[in-house]
Structure 1
Amino acid sequence: MWHPDLYFANARQASFQDVTDDNFLVWVYPSGNVWYDCRISLIVICTMDLWKYPLDSQICEMRILSYAYPESVLRLRWSERIQPSIEFNTDIRMPDMQLLDIKTGVCNGTYSTGIWSCMTAVFFVERQMLIHVVQTYVPTALIVVISW
């Protein structure tokens, strides 16, 4: 059975979840649409602008493309029936960042081999100031006061 040959263009590391068995699901609808669902753990490269650190906010993008099929053969898009397109576990948090929003979109990349369909997910995150006050500003102030 055919399934999409998708890859994450800016992933540094990726692995399929297979704790008890391979975690994937494939549905083929009478219309020809294919629903392919799997669990993947990713580490995605995000170049950060630290000019306003520690009062910064960041925008990180994840891009999904087909490896072998150009846009004329395979057109990628986020599902309109399921909203939001990306779900995240609110119990999982980064210690010093807060996820504000996720926006999904589509893009087409033009290369020498043709036009390739692409999906994007843009993550908007903001650094939490309190952790830096406790870990940086308070100890620095105490060192200055004690050194006088």
Structure 2
Amino acid sequence: MRLQCLQILMLFTLPESLFSQEGVNKSRNLQCSANYCIDLDTYKKRNLPYSPIQIELQFDVTQIISVNDKDFTITFSMFFRVKWLEPRIIGPPTTGKEDKWVAVDLEFIGDLWKPDLFVYHLKRTENLKLLTRFAGLWFVNGNEIIYSQELIMTFWCPMRFDNYPLDTQVCQLKIGSFAYNDEIMTFNTSFDYDQSDSWIKHPNTVLDYQVDIGHLPFEGRDYISPGSGTVYNIAGIQMSLKRNSLKYLVNYYLPSGLMVVVSWISFFIPPEVVPGRMGLLVTNFLVLVNIFNSVSNSSPNVTGFSAISTWIIVCVLFVFGALVGYALILMKKMQLSIQEFENGLSPKSGTN
């Protein structure tokens, strides 16, 4: 009987944290998840864990969804990971032999300090979810925080189309701190874009580019604020977009070039065969004008003329030159006929 009473007394005196690994520990005012806690009395999530702090960003690009030449935007999907050290976490001791990943409640991220990431030239992001959001939160070796999320991102790129459709665009996705300069917060970048992946081997057939991803150039890893001159450290990736030009060569360059060659054949037609020669040149001229209108409607915006527009204009001028040349020949023959008529000579056969 005395033993049973002692067990009941010990049951009521045990700390509440032993009954639940999640939630608030009222005895020490701790907010916990999976045996990892923060002290709500001393932890201030608005304060940096330490300074200068280093943030590691990882971009695992899975698919380039679209490149919009009209809006100057790129849309792609990726797994975006953010990693930083948080020494204020209270957790079990680590062995130090290997990295120990512990998944915690995703809502716990709302109680922690987070880097104030700013995406330059961002248009929109879309968080993917089914039953829950495609995201996770881990503690590694006790005090390292890793947040990972799958998302679809669209950002603006300053594209130039002077060499369209033989152009190559270089676009930079830049992410930095909104408020902290490079003396307080710095970034490291890693990325993954496996060319052997099935998505890369069989890319989106609608996509008009071949994409290569690399690190930002050294001069692009800092941003200087125009007003204050403050320097901000930058992380990100650089995308090189090389347009697939084969279909343009087949659909536009080859037909327009052949039209010019056909117009040269008209030089072998006797000048006296006016309907045949004139019909051939006028038909070629109208076809080239139609091709030029089609190219103008489908080409991206450009100041001046693009490479394909210049090519077709030159082809039009060649055919127009042949047409003008034939008109001059007819005019010259008409003048000769008039002179022969005035001199009392009969006109040559085939002329009126």
TM-score (norm 2): 0.35
2:173 alignment counterpart: 62
Classify 1:77/1:61 alpha carbon distance in 2 versus 1 (closer, same or farther; 3 Å). same
**CA–CA distance in structure 2, aligned partners of residues 24 and 72 of structure 1:** 30
Letter of the 2:152 counterpart: S
Matching of residues 1-148 of structure 1 within 5 Å? 1-30=112-141, 32-79=143-190, 85-87=191-193, 89-90=199-200, 91-93=202-204, 95-99=207-211, 101-105=212-216, 107-111=221-225, 112=228, 114-137=230-253, 140=256, 147-148=283-284
Instruction: Structure 2: give runs of 5+ residues left out of the alignment.
Output: 1-111, 263-279, 285-352
8 Å CA contact retained: 1:26, 1:34: yes
8 Å CA contact retained: 1:96, 1:131: no
Q: Which amino acid aligns with 1:96?
A: D
- Percent identity over the alignment is 23
1:9, distance to aligned residue in structure 2 (A): 0.6
Structure number with the higher strand fraction is 1
**In structure 1, C-alpha distance between the alignment counterparts of 2:118 and 2:192, rounded to whole Å:** 16
In 1, the alpha carbon distance for the partners of 2:230 and 2:241 equals: 34
Distance 2:119 2:130 in 1: 22
CA distance 1:31–1:139, change in 2 (3 Å)? farther
Q: Which structure's CA Rg is the greater one?
A: 2
Change in 2 beyond 3 A, CA 1:16/1:73: farther
User: Which structure ranks higher in relative contact order (CA pairs < 8 Å, sequence separation ≥ 6)?
Assistant: 1
Note closer, same or farther for the CA distance 1:11–1:116 as it changes in structure 2 (3 Å cut): same
- Give, in angstroms, the shift of residue 139 of structure 1: 5.7
Q: Deviations over 1:24-51 (max 9, x none)?
A: 2223334744322212211121122222
Where 1:39 maps in the other structure, the secondary structure is strand
Distance in 2, matches of 1:44 and 1:13, equals 7
With over 3 angstroms needed to count, the CA separation of the structure-2 counterparts of 1:110 and 1:95, relative to structure 1, is: closer
Between structures 1 and 2, the one with greater helix share: 2
Q: Distance in 2 between matches of 1:29 and 1:68?
A: 27
Q: Quote the RMSD (CA, aligned, Å).
A: 2.8
* 2: CA distance, partners of 1:33 / 1:3: 12
